[in-house]
Amino acid sequence: MSETGSYTVRLELVDEPGELLRALRPIADNGGNLLSIFHERGNVTPRGHIPVEVDLEATPAQFDVIVDALRDAGVNVIQAGAERYSEELTVVLVGHLVETDLSDTLQRFQDCGGASVADVSLSAPAGTDEPSSARLRLVASEGRSADALATVREVAAEKELRVVEPLTEGSA
């Protein structure tokens, strides 16, 4: 039996009710296990569609069937391939996250290469005009955690956000 691997599929969806569900159905129907979905309605592609990134686990044979099933269902597959995420790190950002465009912040983390935002938890107890905090769980390709963390630091400095970094081996 083939070993399960982690894969990323980048899709382009029409902004209509049910489109995300229609795109996820071929994944579930063909044995894919969802790891994360990055669906950002505020962003549009040059063609006016919504970009969606789906991380999933499947065997290589299942993945090929999933990609074919997505295309057969009329889902526009922009990119499909293996990205092994073997490292995980959690960081906390504090500051004016909403005011400095949280969507842009998350997209820049996604674009750093070799890493993906797997989970976000936002807390804004005083409303969106006051400082808030977000816990981010990032997954990175083997050996790319340092690059992901460097991107987090760079974006946070630019947007005047504080970063609570994970403790790593050898940290003081």
Cβ neighbours of 79 (radius 10 Å)? 10
Q: Does 68 share its domain with 101?
A: no
Give percent of the chain above pLDDT 70: 89
Q: Does 91 share its domain with 158?
A: yes
Expressed in angstroms, the distance from the first to the final Cα of the chain is 44
Q: For position 70, what pLDDT does the model report? A: 94
Q: Does 76 share its domain with 93?
A: no
Is residue 165 predicted with pLDDT exceeding 60?
yes
pTM of the model: 0.55
Q: Does 34 share its domain with 97?
A: no
Q: Does 124 share its domain with 98?
A: yes
Residue 111 sits at φ, ψ, to 5 deg, of -80, -5
Residue 75 within a domain: yes
Q: Does 72 share its domain with 9?
A: yes
Q: Does 132 share its domain with 73?
A: no
Three-point CA angle 40, 46, 47, nearest 5°: 90
Q: Does 77 share its domain with 107?
A: no
By residue range, what is the domain housing residue 55?
A: 5-82
In three-state secondary structure terms, 62 is helix
User: Average pLDDT of 124-131?
Assistant: 84
Please tell me the total count of domains within the chain.
2
Residue 62 within a domain: yes
Tell me the pLDDT tens digit for each residue of 19-37: 999 999 999 999 999 998 9
Tell me the pLDDT tens digit for each residue of 86-110: 677 889 999 998 888 888 888 788 7
Residue 169 within a domain: no
Q: For position 170, what pLDDT does the model report? A: 47
Q: What is the CATH number of the domain that holds 22?
A: 3.30.70.260
